[in-house]
Amino acid sequence: MSSQLRLAVDAMGGDLGPRSVVPACIRFLQNFPEAQLKLFGPRAELQSLIQEQHRPPRAVSRLEIIHCEQVITQECNPLQAVRHKRDSTMAMALMSVSVGEVQAAVTSGNTGALLALSRSILGNIKGVRKPALGKSVPSGTGSCYLLDLGANVDCSAEDLLQFARMGIEAQRIHTSRSSNGDIKVALLNIGAEAHKGSAEIRRAAGLLEADPEVNYVGFVEGHDIFTGAVDVVVCDGLMGNVAMKSAEGVIRLMGQKAFTIEKSGCFKRFFGQLAIKLLRKWRTQVEPARYNGASFVGVKGNVIKSHGGASSEAFYRAMVTAKECADADLAARVGAAMAQPGSGAPRTMDK
Amino acid sequence: MSSQLRLAVDAMGGDLGPRSVVPACIRFLQNFPEAQLKLFGPRAELQSLIQEQHRPPRAVSRLEIIHCEQVITQECNPLQAVRHKRDSTMAMALMSVSVGEVQAAVTSGNTGALLALSRSILGNIKGVRKPALGKSVPSGTGSCYLLDLGANVDCSAEDLLQFARMGIEAQRIHTSRSSNGDIKVALLNIGAEAHKGSAEIRRAAGLLEADPEVNYVGFVEGHDIFTGAVDVVVCDGLMGNVAMKSAEGVIRLMGQKAFTIEKSGCFKRFFGQLAIKLLRKWRTQVEPARYNGASFVGVKGNVIKSHGGASSEAFYRAMVTAKECADADLAARVGAAMAQPGSGAPRTMDK
């Protein structure tokens, strides 16, 4: 008998709002009979969307609507969110994690607000200097965990060491490799040679090399994220964000080019149609946006950020990521790892 | 009658060495009857490769071999290159640009060594603080010029302003837009909002906004490089390198996934084969590595860097990029642009 799974879901904030979230929730409840969802948003709107779905009442009975009307828009800055948006759907979902009503929260809302509210409502895990946004991306041999994806612009070598420790715990969920020695960790850089990169990246290499808990394999370049040669890639938020979004952009462009070529010529049009079907399938396998659901690791609770433009299918995938984090209790694992010596946590003075 | 085009080609240094360079040279000579090439490398090896090609003697007569035996390996560091590799194929090719024998040099050798040797042999254009590596990448509406791709790790706001000025000149070669006002320039960042990114990126935004020669449109994210919304994207070498290589990596992964799926099932295998043919074609259009040839802008001469792993086809494309830079005399254009007021060039004391 599987244990109960409880998730908080922010119905608002993404580009499509509850129109992508509600169908994803119903599909999730049908696929996972042990799941219970708390859905945060305006009750009347959500109820009418649920009714449109014509789904069996048994699944819907496990969905509880928590009425909130305040929504955090994309324009809202992090400080405003913390100061004035405590009754928002996003803040309420995080509070339900904080009080232990649910095991994880999922949202496709404003990233900056989410990070600020998570830090403020949940707080950092003891010893964590900076929580980081991380994500499992497809690779030649399965997946690779990439962090930070944009939560931290300025990162010291000590921060990067902590990201590595946290990334190992997150990647453990996605891989059969259980011991730290089997999880290969690399630093993202502009070349593999030791003299390359910024002074801070080179200093981080020294810290990672000296850490017995990290199987550090050296510098890698952007393309190595996807080859499968390593399991965790660590970088600052600028580099990680650019890596992720550039990969998404070029895959999208390729899809567009395919549609253009397909329109020319009769023979080509016929096979082009078939090829596009296959292309879509391939793209689904590699498009980072379809690997939806980044985790905000380092705060006291499991927080999952969906792509803002997520379709219902993509939001469903973010919910599955939330389930995986909840099942493994990622936040607790990170907490245990950061309590170990040498984790880069600031030393306390009393013994 | 078209004017003569003279290029220096480093036969060594890439992963495939002269085996990719020699066939590319012969194809280039056949396609461009006005071209003359100086090929730098070991004479006997090059001559035997040329003979293997069975090409008409007329094209080969425009190829001159300059015998050099010293080769710069991938392991050679920039300082070693400048101090001890002045007789190398790469250095000799750059010297032939320096003395005006040729209009541009092309190499697929060690990037760090190339940048150091270019600075040392050709020197910076007057007023240029840091030369940058830039490249035209495919976009939804044609192409986008991205710089810096890794020549400079630490970039000040003033450096980024200069990259913008130089990038405009480089992009002008690839676009029909002739006035600066038509060329949209953006800064790469982790979000479009003004408060995002590092202090230096935000300061650069202020400088670009104040520059009447730059049509600055704001911050863009990694995916925007490929949408066609902007014409020039400016960033430091870490971000640019990561953007470019991540895009290459995910496209390569998609190709691999396609081959795996194609092997399963009879129906799928048949259409899969056809689809893969089309996929290859689409990929050629978007794969950044196929848009081969980055320019090192800001030095006194046209220097083109091919991908290290370039095939003969890819090296040929880098040669075409070199031809375009030579035809437009990119280095002279950049020189003229940097001589204009407000270009960020340090002021001289006298008057």
CATH architecture label of B1-128+298-346: 3-Layer(aba) Sandwich (3.40)
Determine the average pLDDT of the residues in A41-45: 97
List all residues of chain A from 123 to 142 with a beta carbon under 8 Å from chain B.
Answer: 138-140
User: String of b and e for A66-104 (b: at least 16 CB within 10 Å)?
Assistant: bebeebbebebbbeebbeebbebbbbbbbbbbbeeebbb
Query: What strands lie across the sheet with A142-147, from one edge to the other?
Result: A63-67, A35-41, A5-10, A104-107, A302-305, A294-297, A132-139, A142-147, A232-234, A184-188, A215-220
pLDDT in tens, B133-159: 999 998 888 899 999 999 999 999 999
Q: What is the pLDDT of residue A1?
A: 39
Q: Is A221 on the interface with B (CB under 8 A)?
A: yes
List all residues of chain B from 259 to 298 with a beta carbon under 8 Å from chain A.
Answer: 261, 268, 271-272, 274-275, 278-279, 281-283, 285-286, 288
Residues of B in contact with A146 (CB under 8 A): none
Q: What is the pLDDT of residue A290?
A: 61
Determine the average pLDDT of the residues in A76-83: 92
Question: Length of chain A, please?
Answer: 351
In which residue are the tokens 């290589």 written? B245
pLDDT in tens, A186-225: 999 998 888 889 999 999 999 999 999 999 999 999 999 9
Q: How far is CA B191 from the centre of its chain?
A: 27
Task: Using CB atoms, pick whichever of B139, B223, B246 lies closest to residue A225.
Answer: B246
What DSSP character marks residue B223?
A: G
Query: What strands lie across the sheet with B132-139, from one edge to the other?
Result: B63-67, B35-41, B5-10, B104-107, B302-305, B294-297, B132-139, B142-147, B232-234, B184-188, B215-220
pLDDT band for position B59 (50/70/90)? confident
The residues, ordered by sequence, that sit 6+ positions from B346 with a Cβ below 8 Å of its Cβ are B127, B129
Count A/B contacts: CB-CB distance under 8 Å. 197
CA–CA min distance A227, chain B (Å): 7
Q: How many CA atoms lie within 13 A of A243 on its CB side?
A: 35
User: String of b and e for B270-292 (b: at least 16 CB within 10 Å)?
Assistant: ebbebbbebbeebbeebbbbbbb
What DSSP character marks residue B348?
A: P
DSSP SS3 for A128: coil
Q: What is the pLDDT of residue A27?
A: 94
Determine the average pLDDT of the residues in B157-184: 90
Q: What is the Cα–Cα distance from A155 to A90, expressed in whole angstroms?
A: 27
pLDDT band for position A140 (50/70/90)? confident
- ipTM of the complex as predicted: 0.88
Q: What is the Cα–Cα distance from A153 to B239, expressed in whole angstroms?
A: 12
Closest by Cα among B180, B182, B183 to B213: B180
Closest by Cα among A309, A287, A249 to A109: A309
Give yes or no for residue B263 having a pLDDT over 60.
Answer: no
CA distances from A232 to A161, A211, A216, A223 (A): 12, 15, 9, 13
Closest by Cα among B138, B331, B314, B282 to A246: B138
Q: How far is CA A196 from the centre of its chain?
A: 29
Q: Is B247 on the interface with A (CB under 8 A)?
A: yes
Q: Searching chain B, which residue's CA lies closest to the CA of residue A154?
A: B198
Provide the H-helix boundaries in chain A.
18-31, 43-52, 57-60, 78-84, 89-98, 111-121, 157-174, 199-210, 237-262, 266-286, 312-328, 330-339
Q: CA end-to-end span of chain A, whole Å?
A: 45
Q: What is the Cα–Cα distance from A205 to A186, expressed in whole angstroms?
A: 9
Give yes or no for residue B350 having a pLDDT over 50.
Answer: no
Q: What is the Cα–Cα distance from A94 to A107, expressed in whole angstroms?
A: 10
The bridge status of strand A294-297 relative to strand A302-305 is: antiparallel
Q: Do A257 and B223 touch (CB under 8 A)?
A: no
**CATH, domain range A138-288:** 3.40.718.10
Determine the average pLDDT of the residues in B49-55: 84
pLDDT in tens, B215-255: 999 999 999 999 999 999 999 999 999 999 999 888 888 77
Q: What is the pLDDT of residue A53?
A: 83
> Counting Cβ atoms within 10 Å, is residue A308 exposed (0-12), middle (13-18) or buried (19+)?
middle
Tell me whether the omega of the peptide bond preceding residue A224 falls within 30 degrees of 0, making it cis: no
DSSP SS3 for B137: strand
Q: What is the pLDDT of residue A351?
A: 35
Out of 3.30.2130.10, 3.30.1130.10, 3.40.718.10, 3.30.465.10, select the CATH number for domain A1-128+298-344. 3.40.718.10
Q: Is A249 on the interface with B (CB under 8 A)?
A: yes
Q: What is the pLDDT of residue A252?
A: 82
The residues, ordered by sequence, that sit 6+ positions from A306 with a Cβ below 8 Å of its Cβ are A14, A106, A107, A108, A292, A293, A314, A315, A318
CA–CA min distance A82, chain B (Å): 16
Helices (H) and strands (E) in chain A, counts: 12, 11
Q: Is A35 on the interface with B (CB under 8 A)?
A: no
Q: What is the 3-state secondary structure (H, E, C) of B232-289?
A: EEECCHHHHHHHHHHHHHHHHHHHHHHHHHHCCCHHHHHHHHHHHHHHHHHHHHHCCC
Domain residue spans in chain B? Answer: 1-128+298-346
CA–CA min distance A190, chain B (Å): 6
Give yes or no for residue A349 having a pLDDT over 60.
Answer: no
DSSP SS3 for A169: helix
Q: Do domains A1-128+298-344 and A138-288 have the same CATH topology?
A: yes
Q: Do B274 and A271 touch (CB under 8 A)?
A: yes
